[in-house]
Amino acid sequence: MTAEKILEIARSQIGIKEQPPNSNNVKFNTAYYDRTVSGGGYAWCAVFIWWVFQQAGAAQLYYGGKKTAYCPTLASYHRGQAVSGDYRPGDVVFFNFNGKENAQHVGICESWDGRCITTIDGNTAPTNEANGGAVMRRRRAKKYIVGAYRPGYQGQVKPDAPASGVTEERKAAGAAKALDKSLAGTYVVTAESGLHIRSGAGAGKASMAVLPKGTRVQNYGYYTEVSGVAWLYVQATHRGVRYTGFCSGQYLSKV
């Protein structure tokens, strides 16, 4: 199972709402409880995540194939897979909107730019992030994140262990504006003089580093087009620093 498959299923549900409003009567709860339910005791943000993994045939990646509709229980169970600060598409991300540390809400990461995270959530809305009654794509500041875990997807690129020499991480300030999953993959720098990895898309953006020719970078399908050129949002490690930023697609070759 891949992260992109999970996101594909989650995206297909955007716009679905509980009916009537404020009832928690929604198809995800019906599947979870094997009956129609309603009332305040059936909040369903975690149930939505459970449903997505069930539909993907990857039930084991959510609470070991068991059921829980309680975010703190889910977060505790997966603490061995916890990630922080390096969020990737498909990560299961926990939030609290009241300034506390407990997991109040949960969604699936679609993108992360170092400052804000975009997730697909159930039971949310702009007017009530944690109990809004709809499946939506939401973009939130990192201050609301209280935890995350990375399911064991097939083919995922594991982050460098401390023994690899990575001592620092630097992330671009800008966020990618588009997704094309056909772009996802590993690329190699082809420019003879090296290639800038920048804090935003475009040659005018600040350079974070110059990656030498032959450096491998990873892209998950996210990019921003500038003057007809796709600037890929990539991750690369150079001289002990893991960079996440933008590189011109003109000087990258997919491998």
Structure tokens at 220: 């998950």
Does some domain include residue 155? no
Residue 82's CATH number: 3.90.1720
Residue 202 lies inside a defined structural domain of this protein: yes
User: pLDDT at position 251, please?
Assistant: 96
Query: Could you tell me the pLDDT band of residue 164, with boundaries at 50, 70 and 90?
Result: very low
**124 phi-psi bin (left φ>0, alpha ψ -120 to 50, beta other):** beta
Which has more pLDDT, 175 or 47?
Answer: 47
Is the model's pLDDT at 69 over the cut of 70? Answer: yes
**Which residues fall within 8 angstroms of residue 44, CB to CB, at 6 or more apart?**
18, 24, 26, 28, 29, 32, 69, 122, 123
**Element containing residue 148 per DSSP (H, E):** strand 145-149
φ, ψ of residue 201 in degrees (nearest 5): -80, 125
Q: Is residue 154 part of a domain?
A: no
pLDDT tens, 7-45?
999 999 999 999 999 999 999 999 999 999 999 999 999
- Domain limits for position 22: 3-149
Q: Cα separation of 130 and 68, whole Å? A: 17
Give the model's pLDDT for residue 109: 95
**Per-residue pLDDT averaged across 85-92, rounded?**
91
With the CA atoms of 160, 163, 164 and 165 taken in that order, what torsion angle do they form, in degrees rounded to the nearest 10? 110
- Asked if residue 93 and residue 208 are part of one domain, the reply reads no
**Encoded tokens for 177:** 């504006």
d(CA 122, CA 27): 11
pLDDT classification of 157: cutoffs 50, 70, 90:
very low
What value, to the nearest 5°, has the Cα angle with vertex 42 and ends 103 and 97? 30
> Per mean pLDDT, which of 44-53, 113-122, 177-186 is the most reliable?
44-53
Is there a single domain that holds both residue 180 and residue 131? no
Mean pLDDT of the chain: 91
Q: What share of the chain is helix, strand, coil (3-state, %, to 5)?
A: 20, 35, 45
Same domain, residue pair 125 and 40: yes
- Residue 166's pLDDT is what? 62
Q: What is the CATH number of the domain that holds 229?
A: 2.30.30.40
H or E segment to which residue 224 belongs: strand 216-226
Please indicate, yes or no, if residue 39 is contained in any of the structural domains: yes
Query: CA-based angle 12:126:109, to the nearest 5?
Result: 45
* Residue 157, domain member (yes or no): no
Report pLDDT for 238.
87
**How many structural domains does the chain have?**
2
Same domain for 145 and 192? no
Token duo for residue 96:
């609290």
Domain boundary among 86, 119, 149: 149
Q: Which of 149, 177, 193 is the last residue of a domain?
A: 149
* Mean pLDDT within 74-88: 89
pLDDT at residue 89 greater than cutoff 90? yes
What are φ and ψ of residue 53, in 5° steps? -65, -35
pLDDT of residue 165: 56
Q: Which of 127, 149, 171 is the last residue of a domain?
A: 149
- The predicted-structure confidence for 174-192, as pLDDT tens digits, reads as follows 889 999 989 999 999 999 8
